[in-house]
Amino acid sequence: MTFGIFLLFGFAILALAGGTSNLPPPEKMDLLSRLAGPSERHLLGTDHLGRDLLSRLLAAIPVSLGAALKTMAAILAIALPWGLISGLAGGRTDMVMMRLADIVMAFPTLVLALAVIGFMGASLEASIIGVAVAWWPSNARLIRALVLSANERDFVKASYLAGASRRRVIFRHVLPQILPPLAVIVSLETASVLLALSSLSFLGIGAQPPMPEWGAMLNEARPFFAHAPHMLIAPGLAVVCAVLAFNLVGEGLRDLLDKRRPYQW
């Protein structure tokens, strides 16, 4: 988990450094040194248009990570109220809301995201919306489960009996209980959303060139990968590290929260 946090801080610092460094700008083409391998002038080499890979890689941090965070924010904006209302209201409201979520969940997630992008036209915004549409129901379900178990605790019932308003119970007693497990879910889900978004960009239906984005950079590298493998290594490793960071933080948090000990021989 420490390594995961370290990686995330590393990305934040690199993103800031990318803006202030004296690297060539990410869009600057140098057609004389196309597909050049790593050298002193271009630490990670150049791509097929002679653009500096390191500079593009750094410029892609806010785009790629930003897209993942925006998507996650959109997912939470739907899933959190949905799960809360469904879990607390119970009865018919609960049934209808969960049924609606089930209907969206009945489609394979990536297939639904692809279809939404197909109808909206390929762009980074469309892929963000597509992934959010496909991902929110499972999160709403998880949040509802958390709310249900949080609502069962004796002190929650006690505060209802003591005459606390519904809003007070939700914000003072229910939400604080579900925040730690929610942090685990958010972290792990951000990792999977990041993977999905970069896959879509790689397929050419997410971020569009010349926007610097890791998946899109890998897509541009495809025709040249026999002659210029350096174009593949760096962006790929960047995606792996970013996804790994979120996964490590999520798993680490989960281990911290897990108090049970298995019986062993």
Partner 1 sequence: MLRFLLTRLAVTVPTLLGMSFVAFAIVALAPGDPVQMELRAMGIVPKPEDIAAIKAAYGLDKPFFIRYAHWLARALQFDFGTSVATGRSVIAEIGHHMPATLMLSLVSLVGAVGISLALGTLAVMADRFTANCVRALSIVLVSVPPFWLALLFIHVFVLNLGWSRLVGDGSAIDLILPALTLSIGAGAAMGRFVYERVRAEACEDYVRLAIAKGVSPFGILLGHIGPRIIGSMTTVWANTLGWLLGGAVIVESIFSWPGLGQLILQAISQRDFPIIQGYLVLMGLVFFVTSFLADIVLVLADPQLRRGLADE
Q: Does 164 bind partner 1 (CB under 8 A)?
A: no
Q: How far is the CB of 113 from partner 1 (least distance, A)?
A: 7
Nearer to partner 1, 117 or 143 (CB): 117
Nearer to partner 1, 47 or 156 (CB): 47
Residue selected from 32, 99, 152, 167 as contacting partner 1 according to rule CB under 8 A: 99
Q: Does 264 bind partner 1 (CB under 8 A)?
A: yes
Residue selected from 199, 228, 230, 253 as contacting partner 1 according to rule CB under 8 A: 199
Residue selected from 165, 171, 225, 256 as contacting partner 1 according to rule CB under 8 A: 225
Residue selected from 2, 22, 32, 119 as contacting partner 1 according to rule CB under 8 A: 119
Residue selected from 14, 35, 78, 110 as contacting partner 1 according to rule CB under 8 A: 110
Three-class HEC string of the chain: CHHHHHHHHHHHHHHHHHHHCCCCCCCCCCHHHCCCCCCCCCCCCECCCCCEHHHHHHHHHHHHHHHHHHHHHHHHHHHHHHHHHHHHHCHHHHHHHHHHHHHHHCCCHHHHHHHHHHHHCCCHHHHHHHHHHHHHHHHHHHHHHHHHHHHCCHHHHHHHHCCCCHHHHHHHHHHHHHHHHHHHHHHHHHHHHHHHHHHHHHCCCCCCCCCCCHHHHHHHHHHHCCCCCHHHHHHHHHHHHHHHHHHHHHHHHHHHHCCCCCCCC
Nearer to partner 1, 156 or 243 (CB): 243
Q: How far is the CB of 50 from partner 1 (least distance, A)?
A: 22
Interface with partner 1 (CB under 8 A): 99-100, 102-104, 106-122, 191, 195, 198-199, 202-205, 215, 218, 222, 225-226, 229, 232, 236, 239-240, 243-244, 247-248, 251, 260-265
